[in-house]
Copies of this chain bind each other. A is one copy, B any other.
Amino acid sequence: MSEPHTSTELATEKLREAILSGELLPGDRLHQDRLAEMLGISRTPLRAALTTLAQTGLVSYESNRGFYVREFSIADVSGAFQVRAELEAMACRLAAANMTDTARKLLNDLVAEGDRLLEPGALLPENLGAYRRMNVNFHTAVMDLAGNPWIRTFVQSLHNVPAASDRVIMWRDFRVIERSHDDHHRIARALAKGQGERAAAIMREHITFALEHLDLQLKLYPQDFLRMPSPDKPAKGRKASRSKRSSE
Contact = CB atoms under 8 A, between A and B. Distances in A.
A230 interface: no
Contacts of A151: 79, 83
A205 to B, nearest CB: 16
Given A9-B63, A83-B154, A87-B83, A149 B75 contact: yes
Contacts of A206: none
A16 interface: no
Interface string A42-60: 0010011001101111000
A35 to B, nearest CB: 16
B79 A149 contact: yes
Interface of A is mostly: helix
Interface residues of A, number: 33
A127 interface: no
Interface string A73-96: 001100110110011001000100
A83 B90 contact: yes
A49 B118 CA distance: 47
A1 to B, nearest CB: 12
Contacts of A64: 4, 6
Interface of A: 4-6, 9, 44, 47-48, 51-52, 54-57, 63-64, 75-76, 79-80, 82-83, 86-87, 90, 94, 147-151, 153-154, 158
